[in-house]
Structure 1
Amino acid sequence: MKKFPIYALVIFFSLAGCNKKFLDITPNGQITLNDIFNDENRTGAYLNRVYGHMPTYYWNYFFYAFLSGISDDAHDSDVGNETSSMAHQWFGNALTPSNDPTGDTYTSLWAGIYDANVFLANIDGANVTTGNKKMRYKAEAQLLRAFYYLELVKKYGPLPWIDKPFDPKFDYSQLKRPSFQDITNNIVTDCDSAIGNPALPLRITSDNERGRLTKAAAYAIKSEVLLFNASPLWNPANDAAKWQAASNGAKEGLQALTAGGAFQLFGDYGTYFLHNSDVSAAPLDRETIFERPLGSVSALINSIPSKPGMMKAGSCPSQELVDSYDMQTTGEPPILGYQDDQHLQPIVNPASGYDPGNPFVNRDPRFYATVWYNGAVYDMGNGILHTMAMYAGGADQILQTPPSRRNTHTGYYLRKFIDPTIPDQNAQNSSNWKKFRLAELYLNYAEAENEANGPTPDVYNAVNAIRTRATMPNLPAGLSQDQMRDRIRKERRVEFAFEEERFWDVRRWKILDKTDKFVTGMEPAKITDTTFSFKRFIVRSTNVWQSKFLLFPIPLKDASIIPDFGKNQNPGW
């Protein structure tokens, strides 16, 4: 039978983190695994290699786009302008088993799993004698494997669990797709092993270790995979035991992280995303669990036309996202739903205090930290204040037909992550991508506990902790389980706007057909200098809401050579 190696190991001088000072090579330019693991520095360098396969998120997408730009939270200005962009290809039905507009993470994640397995197969016998370094290295490699699997199965569904470096002659054609529960169990096992390893710290306290995985990250990975396993996509029978497991996992993480104040919600939501976490024994930022580089030019490529040097508007918030922000005074949602499929006729909540003629007043403070809207004042630095003008003829007007890359297509621009006061010649935002943060554990717990046991006091406490940080009123008492579910889902949407959660949430909830058919915007019309009327309009209608888009297709390179992958290709592909 024909053999098909997924990832062949060839170790060259370019091992991540190595240099010739300690990585001597043989005359043919290669070194052996014995050479690596008999040397403490080389062993550390190989672990760096395992880290090197970690996704870069925002930085990975074409010209630094946000994944939200292909969700119902936003519309990217590259659509209709840049045919190579992720959003243009996504809405042009370019996703196939041979092409992934979001980037080929499939190959890099499998490579990371392979390297993690090589490391784990050799670390016990490695010549690492410094303190408890060997134990910590092992825990980190286990977490990396668990994390890479989590990122794979979110996108492609369950794939074979491989926990050892196969011989190049191994018959990969015999691999079978397991259940999602099987993969979940294995990821949880790796996380629990790392959590139980005394050499792995709860969090990083020195800057030279920034970017390394910790016990806190293990709890976050465990919580996320348990939540996916319990969600409708992978739990069609709504097995309460799966929800209870997800609730227990998130609660365990919350208790471990918040004990003694080790982790806390950051005080101010708006400024939280403008800075890197400070790594010290007594950090100001105790919310961030794990972060990745975000990029360095987002202040210019997700900007407004009035900003000198700006390149494009980027991913602009949708009206659907804006509708999700509650009113601050009442704590009530302004919009209860829509009378039509196109979302042009909102159902206004009369108890909320929302005024359709003045829609941006008295909203959840997270709205003002996330969205630039008509009439908002943009501090451009150097004492220059600019009032946003999205009406026809305004400096920041909507230009949808023909589409402009420099202008919004929705009537809004992105504010989150962007520090507008940075001087134009240095318009860079050095903040990192906060992949895991404490708020996620709170809302993971609230969701799972509500599904398992209904809206208990613990569910209220978890959601209200997030709302209190945002200076929002607590949720009203007496909500039903269904009502609480709706409030939790909305809370996730606004709390994690543009952080990629929404893209995956609507898939695991299996509501893509309800959320992604239409995306709308809001066009202001100037009446006087201070008064405007507002009209909703359709920004896009697509077919990416079909059930096949709940999962990505298994890439053709594996589906064509591994019989079970081809036979059990993801539905619709």
Structure 2
Amino acid sequence: MAVSISPFNISTRQKRIDMKNILNIILVYTLLLVVGCNKDPLDIMPDGRLTLEQVFADELMASEYVNTMYDNINPYGSSYNYYTLLAGFSDEAHDNDFPQDMQRAPSRWYNGELRPNWNPLDIQFSTNTTDPETNGNYYRKNWAGIRQANVFLQRIGDTPYSNSQTKARLIAEVKVLRAFFYLELIKMFGGMPVVDKPFDSDFKFEVLPRQSFREGVALIQRDCEEAIAESALPYRITAEPERGRFTRAVAHAVRSQALLYAASPLWNEADDQALWEAAAEAGKSALDDLLANNYHLFPDYESYFYGRTDLSVNPADRETIFEIKPHRAHEFSHLIFRMHAIPSIGGDKAGASPSQELVDAYDMANGQPAILGYYDEDHLYPIINTGSGYNESNPYANRDPRFYATVWYNNAYYGEVNGQPYHIQSYLGGADGISNIMQRTSNGYYLRKFRDPKQLDPNTGTARFKKYRLGELYLNYAEAANEAYGPTKDVYDALNAVRDRVDMPGLPEDLTKEEMRERIRRERRVELAFEEHRFWDVRRWKILGSTDKLTTGMEWTEVGPSFTGKRIVTGRRKSHTDNHLILPIPFGELALMPLWKQNPGWD
């Protein structure tokens, strides 16, 4: 009987024998694309290192080659410089490193220090270092992943496999990996060369042209659709040794996000409706396919973010599509506990605190928006929806349940600490009150999402960062379908499915396309808060200049048995100009490509 060999379940002995040689060959060979070398490094192998021919002559080693591609996936989550979150680089949070430590990445981002030779989001590249525990080297790592995928797909055809289904699965899996790396690359740096096969040893990299964002998305779409059509690629992982592998569900998620971005204003200046229709079609296909294959929204929004996915044919968590396996000893939950902490309950720093702007985005429990905008540029005078029931003196009452699952606010009940009930004391002078030290909030809020209040030890949490989940796909589809066809029943159904999960009322039935667009953007903001969407959403919508100039907070003062509050500006930023819509290509990489132009505004 043929035995299926999982590339995530190769014997320990075989790994010891092959891993070092395989890593040697991969590290050397991928330098071709990264540094533009014209000489094939495989020509200099008289010292016993494996050649690619040897690697792909053996199914175990060919499968192990796939494993190494996953090393190019960044850890995301709380893994930006000094274990912060991407949210702190957007308007959904204020990072409390600012202004206490002006050398940390958020402070340098707020100060407008992004340059082609210095990127606060990519300290590794800026300092020429490598750290698998933090995010960085985006340009090189994504290109390395693409390079490895191209080598694999070119050579795997001749590799003998005892089980043809295993081989078919790996081919489909690598196509999804290549699509993933391309998407992460182009949404950060814009259009790149579309490369779907290895370069010859004498290829002249200096003549390689850039291609458009849309051309990159075409490759992503093709790879994902071929993977979706491959029955050997499973819809979900069901066994622990395979945790972290890509699936057909991931292919749907990558395709959905890529087509949505391609249709958005940043990359679709002419508002080509065909692009919105393609994104809507992909979104509908993803939802239909995943719902038919046992994917569903997790019933409890709050607790969903506390743990990792359970692996089985019929898991309790049927929403998660892909979560990040840590590259480090500490789990995501450990870093959330320590680096985005409430000072009276332990931790190293306050980290990323939800902004007042995010708080204002949550509807009232009756389904009506509470805050419609601001009268002033400093966001200190909100436009209150007078019919919503919002009360400035008691602003946290009767809000969307997702607010309570995401934000710790003044006097919020935390739970029991050392056997005693505890309420957050973020008022002036309180145990958690505003202060100009990194361990305290600067804006009166703390992050609740991802952390179970019952967790009182950093080492007991199990949460992992969820890169893709079904909730996003509902919102991707709703946005694309509304832009393509207007606020149809399908658009309402997709949005209301997400709202129903938290017992929020359905949206009003008479919304115009423009009104629905605003509600969809608000829904994305609250449903996906702190999940690395807002940073990219405001860019693809081209609204960065109106969202990222500053963030505000609420300063509470204890007056007898109650509190009075006032809105305060907590951080002004210089990283909101149009050149920040697309990040600059690192100067050292651009110097190797004389035909390329730097991204707009970074010359």
* TM-score (structure 2 length as normaliser): 0.88
> Hey, what does 1:6 align to over in structure 2?
none
Q: Give the Cα–Cα distance (whole angstroms) in 1 for the partners of residues 229 and 107 of structure 2.
A: 45
Q: CA deviation at 1:427?
A: 4.2
1:476 aligns with 2:508: yes
1:180 aligns with 2:216: no
> Hey, what does 2:26 align to over in structure 1?
none
Q: Give the Cα–Cα distance (whole angstroms) in 1 for the partners of residues 421 and 283 of structure 2.
A: 44
> Hey, what does 2:271 align to over in structure 1?
238
Q: Give the Cα–Cα distance (whole angstroms) in 2 for the partners of residues 277 and 152 of structure 1.
A: 27
Amino acid at match of 1:181: R
1:326 aligns with 2:357: no
Q: Is the 8 A contact 1:390 1:398 kept in 2?
A: yes
> Hey, what does 2:281 align to over in structure 1?
248
Amino acid at match of 1:46: Y
1:89 aligns with 2:89: no
* Runs of 5+ consecutive residues of structure 1 not aligned to the other structure: 1-15
Cα 1:222–1:282 change in 2 (3 A) is same
Matches within 5 A, 1:147-166: 147-166=180-199
- SS of the residue corresponding to residue 77 of structure 2 reads helix
Matches within 5 A, 1:485-504: 485-504=517-536
* Runs of 5+ consecutive residues of structure 2 not aligned to the other structure: 1-11, 22-44, 123-136, 326-330
Q: 1:138 aligns with which of 152, 171, 178?
A: 171
Q: 1:541 aligns with which of 572, 580, 596?
A: 572
Q: CA deviation at 1:162?
A: 1.0
Moved more, 37-46 or 279-288: 37-46
Q: CA deviation at 1:23?
A: 5.5
Q: CA deviation at 1:62?
A: 1.4
Q: Give the Cα–Cα distance (whole angstroms) in 2 for the partners of residues 419 and 18 of structure 1.
A: 40
Aligned pairs, number: 549
Q: Is the 8 A contact 1:269 1:369 kept in 2?
A: yes
> Hey, what does 1:169 align to over in structure 2?
202
> Hey, what does 1:306 align to over in structure 2?
344
> Hey, what does 2:540 align to over in structure 1?
508
Matches within 5 A, 1:211-290: 211-259=244-292, 262-290=294-322
> Over residues 205-236 of structure 1, what are the superposed CA-to-partner deviations in whole Å (9 max), with x where a residue is unaligned?
22221111111110110000000000000111
Amino acid at match of 1:340: D
Cα 1:171–1:454 change in 2 (3 A) is same
Cα 1:59–1:390 change in 2 (3 A) is closer
1:35 aligns with 2:74: no
Q: Is the 8 A contact 2:551 2:572 kept in 1?
A: yes
Q: Give the Cα–Cα distance (whole angstroms) in 2 for the partners of residues 537 and 59 of structure 1.
A: 26
* TM-score (structure 1 length as normaliser): 0.93
Q: Give the Cα–Cα distance (whole angstroms) in 2 for the partners of residues 339 and 247 of structure 1.
A: 35
1:564 aligns with 2:560: no
> Over residues 147-187 of structure 1, what are the superposed CA-to-partner deviations in whole Å (9 max), with x where a residue is unaligned?
00000111011100111111343111111111222111111
> Hey, what does 2:396 align to over in structure 1?
360
> Hey, what does 1:342 align to over in structure 2?
378
Matches within 5 A, 1:367-446: 367-399=403-435, 403-424=436-457, 426-446=458-478
Moved more, 288-297 or 31-40: 288-297
Cα 1:283–1:93 change in 2 (3 A) is same
Q: Is the 8 A contact 2:584 2:598 kept in 1?
A: no
Q: Give the Cα–Cα distance (whole angstroms) in 1 for the partners of residues 324 and 420 of structure 2.
A: 32
Q: Is the 8 A contact 1:519 1:541 kept in 2?
A: yes
Q: CA deviation at 1:535?
A: 0.4
> Over residues 36-60 of structure 1, what are the superposed CA-to-partner deviations in whole Å (9 max), with x where a residue is unaligned?
1112211111000111111211243
Amino acid at match of 1:316: S
Q: Give the Cα–Cα distance (whole angstroms) in 1 for the partners of residues 211 and 18 of structure 2.
A: 42
Q: CA deviation at 1:283?
A: 0.4
> Hey, what does 1:9 align to over in structure 2?
none
1:118 aligns with 2:151: yes
Amino acid at match of 2:379: H
Percent identity reads: 46
Q: 2:586 aligns with which of 544, 549, 555?
A: 555
Amino acid at match of 2:362: Y
- SS of the residue corresponding to residue 332 of structure 1 reads coil
Q: Is the 8 A contact 1:62 1:84 kept in 2?
A: no
> Over residues 78-120 of structure 1, what are the superposed CA-to-partner deviations in whole Å (9 max), with x where a residue is unaligned?
1123344221221122211112221221111111111111111
Q: Give the Cα–Cα distance (whole angstroms) in 2 for the partners of residues 63 and 140 of structure 1.
A: 32
